[in-house]
Amino acid sequence: MRRRTALQTGIAAGALALAGCTGGSDSAAVEPQVAFADLYEPGPLGEDRPVEGGVPIADLPPLTGELTIYLGGGEGGVYLDFLDRLEQIYPAFTARVREAPGADTANTLLNEGTASPADVFWAVDAGSIGAVADAGLTTTLPEVVTDEVPSQYRPDDVWVATSGRARAIPYNTDLIDAADIPSSVMAFPEVPAFADAMAWAPTYGSFQAFITTMRYLEGEAATRSWLEAIIDAGVTSFADEFLLNNGIADGTASVGFANHYYAWRVREARPDAPIALAFTEGDAGALINVAGATVLRSSDRITQAERFIQHLLSTEAQEFFTVNLWDYPVLPEMDPVGDMPTIDELNPPEMPLDVLSDIQPTLELLRSTGAL
């Protein structure tokens, strides 16, 4: 496997400039040298799955030259693995990657402004991408890139979702009866069975997006009251939501708030773990958040950057993220893995995803209530 060039996180913007890759001609485009299917083992989750929707990589314009990709979270190396496969398909293409948490990468881009060397920002949460778009640092993506994706997952076409994840309620099946789980997340502090048994990960970006959603739907005062009531009822804090789900499976807590796929990852490693998922309805607990990508206005390889995002939305990429991450595909024709409900079967709140970029008031609220 060809080694990809990585950019160090702490390097100053000027030092990140890439010699010899400004501008660049697409005339040297080459056809794919190997099929994606030849590089990909679907594993148990992908076996016998009908794969429908999207445009196959073989039908997309080829990738050439170098792109500087700011990666806001890498999903445990899965995104880097995908980039490695693209480089094998296109020997004339090199991805130069700077990887850091989504919020940190967004702040870097905000500081660099139009002098950023980045061509693409690819992040695991809508809030980070939305903050960069709100600052006017992104281009408008053409219809050929976005037209396969539902409109709610491509706000004003300044960025586009690449996969989705649902907020869910993981619970220990030995300790909690599914019938005890309310359909509204706002009712959780009042459930006697949840006293001193709840879990959250308040430093985690996905949890902060959940609270930002609650602020939008319920208002600041109601969100503050909810946070204070959860703390009063008794809640255990975890560093991230994977640890949270393991804690629930271990019985350290009985019920919690997390993205859906962490419970699946626990069950993959521990098939007999007593953990299951419930879903609330129409509220912050039912948020569908997304990973997404955008092209930076600072890029002088905009056409290639747009083609790269087309590859993130290809049939093969959507299947790769779905099977390897348990994410929801953003192509309507493609189903989630396993027995997960489809997005249409869930009842997410109606809200614009760019709301999630309004993170600072959320952080202040979490600090002032003692959640952080």
Same domain flag for 59 and 121: yes
Same domain flag for 104 and 247: no
pLDDT value at position 45? 57
pLDDT value at position 335? 87
361: CATH? 3.40.190.10
Same domain flag for 132 and 222: no
The residue among 239 and 28 whose pLDDT is bigger is 239
Is the predicted pLDDT of residue 2 greater than 60, yes or no? Answer: no
pLDDT value at position 30? 59
Domain count, the chain: 2
The residue among 101 and 304 whose pLDDT is bigger is 304
Structure-token match 């796929």, residue found: 261
Same domain flag for 251 and 223: yes
Query: Residue 116 falls within a domain, yes or no?
Result: yes
Find the domain containing 218 and state its range: 165-288+346-369
Same domain flag for 86 and 179: no
Q: How many residues does the chain have?
A: 372
Is the predicted pLDDT of residue 31 greater than 70, yes or no? Answer: no
Per-chain mean pLDDT for the chain: 87
Query: Residue 318 falls within a domain, yes or no?
Result: yes
Same domain flag for 352 and 210: yes
Same domain flag for 242 and 363: yes
Query: Residue 5 falls within a domain, yes or no?
Result: no
Same domain flag for 253 and 191: yes
pLDDT value at position 49? 65
Is the predicted pLDDT of residue 348 greater than 70, yes or no? Answer: yes
pLDDT value at position 136? 96
Q: Residue 41: pLDDT band by 50, 70, 90 thresholds?
A: low
How far is residue 331's CA from residue 160's CA, in Å, rounded to a whole number? 12
Q: Residue 63 corresponds to which amino acid?
A: L
DSSP state of 178: G
Same domain flag for 295 and 182: no
Query: Residue 2 falls within a domain, yes or no?
Result: no
* 8 A C-beta contact, residue 314 and residue 330: no
C-alpha closest to that of 170 among 207, 134, 144 = 207
pLDDT value at position 50? 67
Query: Residue 249 falls within a domain, yes or no?
Result: yes
Is the predicted pLDDT of residue 327 greater than 60, yes or no? Answer: yes
Q: Residue 274 corresponds to which amino acid?
A: P
Is the predicted pLDDT of residue 76 greater than 80, yes or no? Answer: no
Same domain flag for 208 and 321: no
Is the predicted pLDDT of residue 91 greater than 90, yes or no? Answer: yes
C-alpha closest to that of 65 among 87, 45, 43 = 87
Same domain flag for 354 and 217: yes
pLDDT value at position 52? 75
Query: Residue 93 falls within a domain, yes or no?
Result: yes
* Sequence-ordered list of residues with C-beta below 8 angstroms from that of 86, at least 6 positions apart, any chain: 63, 93, 95, 311
pLDDT value at position 16? 27
Q: Does residue 156 come out as left (phi exceeding 0), alpha (psi in the -120 to 50 range) or beta?
A: left
The residue among 54 and 146 whose pLDDT is bigger is 146
Query: Residue 105 falls within a domain, yes or no?
Result: yes
β-strand partners of 121? 70, 294
Same domain flag for 252 and 313: no
Give the global pTM.
0.82
